[in-house]
Structure 1
């Protein structure tokens, strides 16, 4: 059985990616970074697998993300 995909918070995302908050939000708006998930009224996070894929190849994120949406 595969391990469940964890939800990680902003501080973890920033430390793994090396981005600032401002840059991460700009990239989300541009579609070049994974979007947040609403996890509570005042909280949001990211799927760890999405962040790991972005870290492995940030340039290909948009292409992979758009291809998956068009299916």
Structure 2
């Protein structure tokens, strides 16, 4: 198990700091873990699972376009 600091979470997800905290507030992103004092981190597997869930949601959506070429 590994902890990710905010900088790593931002790099991994492509989300901004404010979006990460907004998603946490809305219950849409894994909560951070207190490391003591003002230091927090995220459980790496929880962030990866969140990313995989976004991919699964995308793959379950109906395609907006056809893959067939127009003749």
**TM-score interval, normalised by the smaller of the two chains:** 0.7 to 0.9
Candidates 23, 29, 34, aligned match of 1:27: 23
TM-align CA RMSD = 1.5
Identify unmatched segments of 5+ residues in structure 1. Answer: 61-71
Q: How many residues end up aligned between the 2 structures?
A: 56
Candidates 11, 20, 23, aligned match of 1:15: 11
Which stretches of structure 1, 4 residues or more, deviate above 4 A after TM superposition?
none
State the TM-score, normalized to the length of structure 1.
Answer: 0.73
The structure with the largest helix share of the pair is 1
The structure with the largest strand share of the pair is 2
Larger Rg: 2
State the TM-score, normalized to the length of structure 2.
Answer: 0.73
Identify unmatched segments of 5+ residues in structure 2. Answer: 57-71
